[in-house]
């Protein structure tokens, strides 16, 4: 007896069904009512999805079940994302589920993903579109609800950190149907002011995806993209990402974070300024020292007291500068003692009054100060001027720096 | 938006840093050094003054387009 090629085996047929179904039906979102929800001992989740006319089995594997952020129950309307698979041993087809969401929330999530993909395709979220945030804004516009913790967090943080800064609050509703229009309008009003802010903060406290929805609406996102002023977004908590966050020039994890990113740290800036002040004093002292040596040379080593008035006054001014530095830094002396003492000593050591006291000698040949050995040969006579007294010496050997 | 007004602190600080660098390394004669030093001192004072002026003025925009002073601490309570 021969077996015709036209007669399938069960396995072969099932495999063909499996291939046909699994390749022709792409992964999909599916809406339905849950029934027969079973959390198996193995950790896998078995369920049936049904509507008025049909039902289909579904399974979610353990690794995905552990990531579920709600507990599915019979009777719930849900959205699932998954793909169709054929279970050959059981002769059944079922949905291999990646994601389950309550239907309401799921619908928003779908809308979110669709809009996100569309706006991303337009390039709205491209890094190249991001405008630089001014490091020292003088005027910050804050667009948020006038009630609630967010506005207070933002304004208190700005007041604490900012300096020489104006803050302008534009109250808007951050939830509800009018919200996106109010936010868009606020951004427009701010950018059209006579003296527009140089930086904006758009913020809102935490909430559910529905609460934050105004910040996922196309109108809001486009208004932020179109606004000529750089915008920092601080919406919800760290884990919430809205499309407004993505389109903003800078994204902060929270409203407080947005206010922090908007303002430079005063302490840090003060450090920078005082550092420049010390540098200025040190450098000038160094230059005056050079000039002093030249004057002394010209005056034939007459000494420090004979310096022209102008230089004496400069010494005084440098000392004043030093005092002001130390006064400004007194508050931080405790944690910076070592560094400051070193800098202070350095500044003092460089003071023109101390140049010779430090143990240097001014070496002259025929009244001219020597800076290198050019023109110097064994047997030449030179004079050494020390802090106290002077001496004559004879050159025994000359070594140029290249030897 | 006036460039001068919005970034003057930043410009002052940048100029101050440049001057300090010139005095440190630049090949300047005494007169130029003194000129730069004096300018640096002025910038230093201006930057310090701005930092000292720590108050932040907070206002609220009204529907009329006018503004009204606001105390942040009083909000959201």
* Residue in B closest to A135 by C-alpha: B10
Contact A121, A114 (CB under 8 A): no
Would you call A397 exposed, middle or buried from its count of C-beta atoms within 10 A (0-12, 13-18, 19+)?
Answer: exposed
Residues of B near A (Cβ–Cβ under 8 Å) read 1, 5-7, 9-10, 13, 16-17, 19-20, 23-24, 28, 30, 33-34, 37, 40-41, 44, 47-48, 50-54, 56-61, 67, 70, 72-73, 75-77
Q: State how far residue A141 is from chain B, nearest Cα, in angstroms.
A: 10
* Residue in B closest to A150 by C-alpha: B76
Instruction: Give pLDDT, residue A338.
Output: 47
User: Is residue B22 predicted with pLDDT exceeding 90?
Assistant: no
Nearest by CB: A273 against B1, B44, B56: B44
User: Is residue B4 predicted with pLDDT exceeding 50?
Assistant: no
- The residues pairing with A50 across neighbouring beta strands, listed in sequence order, are A33, A55
Contact A204, A235 (CB under 8 A): yes
Nearest by CB: B13 against A137, A166, A272: A272
3-state secondary structure of B27: coil
Q: State how far residue B12 is from chain A, nearest Cα, in angstroms.
A: 10
> Which positions of chain A have pLDDT values less than 50?
303-306, 328-341, 343-344, 352-353
Tell me how far apart the alpha carbons of residues B9 and B29 are, in angstroms, rounded to a whole number: 28
Would you call A75 exposed, middle or buried from its count of C-beta atoms within 10 A (0-12, 13-18, 19+)?
Answer: exposed
Residue contact A195–B53, C-beta within 8 A:
no
Residue contact B72–A155, C-beta within 8 A:
yes
| Nearest CA among A186, A201, A235 for reference residue B58 | A201
Residue contact A134–B7, C-beta within 8 A:
yes
Tell me how far apart the alpha carbons of residues A139 and B56 are, in angstroms, rounded to a whole number: 10
Instruction: Give pLDDT, residue A335.
Output: 39
Q: Listing from the earlier edge strand, what are the strands of the sheet with A139-144?
A: A250-252, A231-235, A199-204, A139-144, A165-171, B56-61, B67-69
Tell me how far apart the alpha carbons of residues A34 and A48 are, in angstroms, rounded to a whole number: 6
């Amino acid at each position: 007896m021969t077996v015709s090629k036209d007669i399938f085996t069960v396995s072969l047929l099932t495999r063909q069904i499996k291939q046909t179904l699994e390749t022709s039906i792409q992964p999909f979102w599916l809406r339905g009512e849950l029934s027969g929800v079973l959390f198996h001992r193995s950790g896998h989740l078995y369920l049936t999805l049904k509507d008025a006319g049909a039902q289909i089995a579904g399974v979610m594997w353990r690794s995905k079940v552990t990531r579920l952020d709600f507990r599915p129950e019979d009777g719930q309307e849900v959205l699932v994302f998954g793909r169709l698979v054929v279970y050959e041993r059981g002769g059944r087809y079922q949905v291999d589920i990646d994601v389950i969401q309550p239907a309401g929330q799921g619908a928003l999530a779908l809308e979110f993903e669709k809009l996100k993909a569309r706006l991303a395709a337009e390039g709205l979220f491209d890094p190249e579109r991001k405008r630089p945030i001014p490091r020292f804004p003088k005027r910050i516009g804050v667009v948020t609800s006038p009630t609630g913790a967010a506005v207070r967090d933002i304004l208190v943080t700005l007041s604490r950190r900012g300096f020489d800064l104006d803050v302008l609050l534009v109250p808007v509703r951050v939830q509800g149907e009018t919200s996106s229009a109010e936010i868009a309008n606020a951004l427009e009003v701010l950018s059209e002011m006579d003296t527009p802010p140089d930086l904006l903060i758009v913020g809102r406290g935490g909430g559910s995806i529905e609460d934050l929805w105004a910040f996922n609406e196309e109108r809001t996102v486009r208004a932020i993209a179109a606004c000529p002023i750089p915008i920092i977004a601080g919406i919800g908590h760290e884990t919430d990402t809205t499309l407004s966050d993505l389109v903003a020039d800078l994204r902060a994890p929270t409203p407080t974070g947005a206010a922090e990113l908007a303002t430079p740290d005063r302490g840090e800036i003060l450090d920078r300024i005082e550092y420049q002040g010390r540098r200025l004093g040190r450098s000038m002292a160094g230059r005056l020292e050079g000039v002093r040596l030249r004057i002394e040379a010209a005056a034939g080593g007459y000494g420090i007291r004979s310096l022209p008035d102008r230089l004496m006054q400069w010494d005084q001014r440098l000392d004043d500068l030093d005092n002001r530095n130390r006064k400004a830094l007194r508050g931080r002396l405790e944690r910076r003692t070592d560094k400051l003492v070193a800098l202070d000593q350095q500044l003092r050591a460089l003071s023109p009054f101390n140049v010779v006291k430090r143990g240097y000698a001014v070496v002259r040949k025929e009244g001219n100060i020597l800076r290198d050995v050019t023109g110097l040969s064994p047997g030449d006579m030179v004079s050494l001027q020390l802090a106290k007294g002077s001496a004559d010496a004879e050159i025994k050997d000359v070594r140029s720096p290249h030897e | 938006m006036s460039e001068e007004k919005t970034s003057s602190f930043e410009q002052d600080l940048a100029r101050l840093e440049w001057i300090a660098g010139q005095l440190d390394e630049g090949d300047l004669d005494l007169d130029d050094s003194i000129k730069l030093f004096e300018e640096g001192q002025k910038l230093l004072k201006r930057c310090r003054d701005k930092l000292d002026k720590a108050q932040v003025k907070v206002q609220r925009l009204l529907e009329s387009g006018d503004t009204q002073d606001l105390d942040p601490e009083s909000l959201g309570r």
